[in-house]
Structure 1
């Protein structure tokens, strides 16, 4: 990669992260302001950055067009779009679509919930491998060698007291997700949120993506979120079929926990 191209990409990345002045960009890159200005002018001429009246730089419209075009060309996103929107409408909850590429899980589509309390997640951002349902599901689709390689290099940030803390735990959870056909985030990334995820399979039989449903615990209990698994599995089965998958996806529904009222009914007939 040429030095100019590399510097221009570094500048674009910095602008996307909120570094917006010429001085700050020059300092962050260690490049003279004259060179930074020239590169910014080139990016601006192609619509990748824009400059406001206060001479602050922002991400330009060309970036969003490029990102949207790239996302739209990914068959799984196009195929899944109407199905995850129907799932979001029927549950009223947040639905995510995510894919895996070289150790990174990325949200490629999202349906917002009807709840006022919403998740902090955005299309294009990475998802925590060890603390999200989609992350565990997608890890479960890897072969053992790749899974161990990814797990060994994963940064296992402790988000809550429930977050997975060791590589062995992560590998075991990925295997568990593959065996039962779903994974969960039980207050592991955010203390107020529970989430279930399931795999989408491609025509080649490999996991192509993952879909999840996320619900604040003030809206549904953990057991209530687990009860959404059949609807989630039905949605991922439809997406997989649209992608050409002809086999039967694994799905082991969790046992229903009995409440004290249920036990009393059993005792008294």
Structure 2
């Protein structure tokens, strides 16, 4: 998470495909026409659009000729829109679909998030696992003298965020390796974990305590605690977090939010 005064808030999109299959994420530059189309839609809908054809090709890991052909078909159906100068943005049908999905949010999610904010007094985020990143789908701002720059729709790394690390901690080791190989472990602050050994040790600690902490690993002055939300099969579908600033809340205080955080994750599990 990031404050308005912090450095860049966007996570670079993955350039290329993973070295092996990873459930819930990109598998390879190959795949069915449907898989390619979905990856292209995801790339077009990423923040910062409209996107250049080259950027969509790289993010979706689909050959340029195929990307151009699929984009033309999607534009004809209204799911994407050619914006000129070789750029593509979200089309009206995709915006309409997004509105329908938002309106279909399971009952009870808001209540759980509001209760967590009430108990902690901090900003609350709900994010879902989307390939090699997490994407914020809900945000409740704290009643504090500061505001965070995170927003719904923002995609963030797995290895630098509390939600991301809590999700990784519940995945099989081989899947963690595939995800991190595809996205890399780029450094965002001096405290970012940038080696596989560091991350493995951190994930073991996350599993032991049942929640993760981002202690200025994603951005200076920002401290978060996050817990994974498992789906019906036990696989994490995303996670929930509380976000604070280091100059107001100590790490010990953030860790004290763990019982409320884990309770929220348990309550969200059947809803998501």
Q: Does the alignment reach a TM-score above 0.5?
A: yes
The answer as to whether partners of 2:214 and 2:223 remain within 8 angstroms in 1 is: yes
1:168-198 Cα shifts (integer Å, max 9, x gaps): 2112222321222100000111111100001
After TM superposition, give the deviation of residue 62 of structure 1 in Å: 4.6
Matches within 5 A, 1:150-229: 150-229=179-258
Q: Which has the larger radius of gyration?
A: 1
- Distance in 2, matches of 1:15 and 1:178, equals 31
The answer as to whether partners of 2:169 and 2:207 remain within 8 angstroms in 1 is: yes
**Aligned partner (choices 128, 151, 156) of residue 122 of structure 1:** 151
1:59-118 Cα shifts (integer Å, max 9, x gaps): 56654432233355565xx54332012212333321111222443322222212222422
Query: Using a 3 Å threshold, how does the CA distance of structure 1 residues 158 and 90 change in structure 2: closer, same or farther?
Result: same
Cα RMSD, aligned residues only = 4.0
1:185-212 Cα shifts (integer Å, max 9, x gaps): 0011111110000122333333332110
After TM superposition, give the deviation of residue 128 of structure 1 in Å: 1.2
The answer as to whether partners of 2:228 and 2:236 remain within 8 angstroms in 1 is: yes
Name the TM-score, length of structure 2 as normaliser.
Answer: 0.66
Name the TM-score, length of structure 1 as normaliser.
Answer: 0.66
- Distance in 2, matches of 1:59 and 1:186, equals 35
The answer as to whether partners of 1:95 and 1:110 remain within 8 angstroms in 2 is: yes
The answer as to whether partners of 2:47 and 2:153 remain within 8 angstroms in 1 is: no
After TM superposition, give the deviation of residue 230 of structure 1 in Å: 1.8
Specify every segment of 5 or more residues in structure 2 that has no aligned partner in the other structure, as ranges: 1-31, 58-63
Query: Which structure would you say has the larger RCO, counting Cα contacts within 8 Å and 6 or more residues apart?
Result: 2
- Distance in 2, matches of 1:158 and 1:46, equals 38
Matches within 5 A, 1:1-269: 13=44, 17-19=48-50, 43=75, 46=78, 62-71=93-102, 73=104, 78-240=107-269, 242-243=270-271
After TM superposition, give the deviation of residue 144 of structure 1 in Å: 1.7
